[in-house]
Amino acid sequence: MSLEREEPTHFGAGPAQLPTHVLQQAALDLINYKDIGLGIGEISHRSKDATQVIEDSKTHLKELLNIPDTHEVFFMQGGGTTGFSSLATNLETAYVGKNGKLGKCGYLVTGSWSQKAYEEAHRLRLPAEIIFDSRKYDSNGKFGSIPNESEWSSNLNGDYAYVYLCENETVHGVEWPNLPECIVSNPNIELVADLSSNILSRHIDISKYGVIMAGAQKNIGLAGLTLYIIKKTILNDIQNANQTKLDELNVPVTPIAFDYPTVVKNNSAYNTIPIFTLHIMDLVFQHLKAKGGIKQQEVENELKQKSIYDALDSYPNFYNLPVDKSVRSKMNVVFTLKDSSLDGKFLEEASKLKLTGLKGHRSVGGFRASIYNALTVESVNKLSKFVKDFAEANSK
């Protein structure tokens, strides 16, 4: 029975490729963890070993992201979609706890994930509001750009329980290059951000966020687990919310398994935590620390995105890049062929070189190369070379 494999070059958008040696260690630990005679998935979530995995994961993440004492880390089952509802109801509860009245749920819509997050808040009967939808500011009426702050900051008015954004939109390949100043400089607004597809890919300043949510299945592990980083004052506000007031204002009750203070008080083990999945996440954290932390990863990610975008940009008559240069995602590189009759050939020839997972999202078409942390510079260079070779061979 072999645990070896050739290094994959899979550019799928997620669940995504993970470091091979992380999976090898996880495979061994699935059978016999630290020689206890049982796998890490077969022990109580309240056992010493499981608790240590939770503690280690938190410690390593705090080190990697330099998380200040003002913020708390916890883990919950689910992914982005689960987060949409729990963020909305927990944050509204916190706002009522602090202010005794409802606040608006503001959304900055730059792609289909932030759009879905808005829809869920609205569906839950919360006072959800789109602060801007980038399509309305885009010359093509599509997702692919982010308007300047000066164009939309005046839309902010009234009281917000929070303002939500998705830092990297995987479907459309749009990434916020910086956080909007009008939000982060406003002490009355909590920024809630979905970092599912770019967490740990670059330096971030945790102090600017009210809550960060990040599903595991892109940069940090298997599907089934989401990490949260939350300002401790928000947890307090949720706990201090007056039940009579919440009932009176008809704030939707968060299901107990997703009530943030309950999860934190129970060290992420109120609902049985998928400990094997968390262990893989921690192995990824350890892997990242060992290679030099975010700083080193960011250097590599910069090389990777430059390599592939440069290759595509070199053939402007052959490739089309629909996203504005200023907001191009460094994780999901979206492009199409000017001559779409070559689409099949492109995928086929890529596949022969074992460059897989390149098909674009069904709602966008074309191609998407997801170059998450686990993709090496060499792997991306291989793709860049193919991109150039294919253009050379097929340009008219």
Contact footprint for a second copy (CB under 8 A)? 1-6, 8, 10, 12-18, 20, 23-24, 26-28, 30-32, 37-39, 41-45, 47, 77-79, 81-82, 84-86, 120, 123-125, 215, 217, 222-225, 247, 250, 252-253, 255-258, 270-277, 354, 356-357
Of 4 and 348, which has the nearer Cβ to a second copy?
Answer: 4
Q: Which of 133, 194, 237, 259 is catalytic?
A: 194
Closer residue to a second copy in complex, CB, 81/185: 81
Closest separation between CB of residue 373 and a second copy, Å? Answer: 13
Please, what is the minimum distance in Å from the beta carbon of residue 270 to a second copy?
7
* Catalytic entry in 62, 104, 218, 304: 218
β-strand pairing of 191-194 with 168-169: unpaired
Which is nearer to a second copy, 83 or 180 (by Cβ)?
A: 83
DSSP letter for 272, please: P
Q: Which is nearer to a second copy, 311 or 364 (CB)?
A: 364
- Give the Cα separation of 367 and 335 in Å (integer): 5
Nearer to a second copy, 133 or 259 (CB): 259
Please report how close the Cβ of residue 356 comes to a second copy at its closest, in angstroms. 8
Least distance CB 47 / a second copy (angstroms)? 8
Q: Which of 113, 304, 330, 382 is catalytic?
A: 113
- d(C-alpha 22, C-alpha 294), whole Å: 17
Within a 10 A sphere around the Cβ of 342, how many other Cβ atoms?
15
| Cα–Cα nearest to 19, from 331, 273, 289, 368 | 289
Q: Work out how close the CB of 100 gets to a second copy at its nearest, in angstroms, rounded to a whole number.
A: 20
Minimum CB separation of residue 250 from a second copy in Å reads 7
Give the number of C-alpha atoms closer than 13 A to the C-alpha of residue 222, restricted to the C-beta side.
13
Q: Are 341 and 151 in contact (CB under 8 A)?
A: no
Q: Is 218 a catalytic residue?
A: yes
Which DSSP state fits 328?
B
Question: What is the residue type of 67?
Answer: I
Can 194 be counted among the known catalytic residues? yes
* Closer to a second copy by Cβ: residue 141 or 255: 255
Which amino acid is it at 218? K
User: What Å distances lie between residue 72 and 115, 151, 217, 234, 292, CA to CA?
Assistant: 27, 34, 21, 10, 24
- To the query of whether residue 265 is one of the catalytic residues in this protein, the response is no
Half-sphere exposure of 118 (CA within 13 A, CB side): 19
| Stated length of the chain | 396
Q: Are strands 9-10 and 355-356 parallel, antiparallel or unpaired?
A: parallel
Active site residues: 113, 194, 218
